[in-house]
Amino acid sequence: MVTSPGGDDVAGRVIIVTGAGRGIGRGIAHHLARSGATVVVGELVARRLSRILTELSEIGGPHLGESCDVRVKEDIDGLVTKALDRFGRIDGLVNNAVTYRGPEPLAEISDEAMDGVYLSGVKAALWGMQSVYPHMARAGWGRIVNVGSSAGIVGLPGFGAYAAAKEAIRGLTRTAAREWAADGIVVNCYCPASYEERSTTEVSPYLAAADARSDRRCGTRHWPGRALPLFRRLPLPHW
C-alpha cells in the first residue's frame, strides 16, 4: 500500500485521466505529471496511448496507461482495478473522454448520435464516479473533476447532442458533490471552450455563426498541444 500524501497538493496523488491521448486530456496528464502526481491514463486509440505514455516517461514519475473504451463499463472498472493493483489507491479522477460526431443542425440529430454522446459522456462519467467512489469513501478523501463544455452553457449551434450531454454531466456533478461531501469527496465540473486553429467557416457554418456571436469570456481558446496553459489558470495543482 502506498502511503497517502497529506494536504490538497497533487504531488504523490494517484489520479486517473480518461481520454488522455489528445487535446485537453493530454494537457491535463502532462500538467499532473509535472506537478508530481502519479498519472493513470485511459485512452482508446492505440497510437495516442503510445504517444502519451512516451511523453509521461520523458516527464518522469510513476504512471500507467491502459486501453479504455469509456462506452464499456467493464473497461472503466478494469482501469480502476489496474490502478489499484499497481498503486494501492485512487485519489483523483478526471472524466474527460467523450466521443461525438461533427456539427449538425438540431432538427437532424439522430437517435444514434444522441445515444452515442450520452453513452460516452454521461453514462461513462457516472460509471467512472461509481467505480472510484467506494475506494475514495473508504479513504475519506477523493477529488473528481468532470469535464463539461461551454457549448452547453451558451447553446452552441450545431452541437445540440454534445451540449445536452455536457449539461447532464453538470447535473451529475452537482448531485455527487452534495451526496459525497460527507465522505470527504469533492466533485467539480469545469466548462472550457475549444476552437480549432483554423477558420471556423472551414469547419461548419454553424460554428462560424456561433463564433461570430459568442461571448469570448465564456471560454478559452485552445487547440491540441496548447491545452496546458489552460490548466495553469485553473486551481491545480491544488484540488
- Please name the helix (run of DSSP H) or strand (run of DSSP E) that holds residue 230, with its range, or none: helix 228-232
Q: Which of 100, 133, 162, 206 is catalytic?
A: 162
Contact (Cβ atoms closer than 8 angstroms) between residue 137 and residue 179: no
Q: Is 182 exposed, middle or buried (0-12, 13-18, 19+ CB in 10 A)?
A: exposed
What cell does 101 get? Answer: 460526431
Does the annotation mark 190 as catalytic?
no
- Note if the bond before 237 is cis, omega within 30 degrees: yes
Of 218, 61, 63, 197, residue with least CA distance to 151: 218
Contact (Cβ atoms closer than 8 angstroms) between residue 31 and residue 55: no
DSSP state of 19: T
What gap in Å lies between CA 73 and CA 69, rounded to an integer?
A: 8
The residues annotated as belonging to the active site are 162
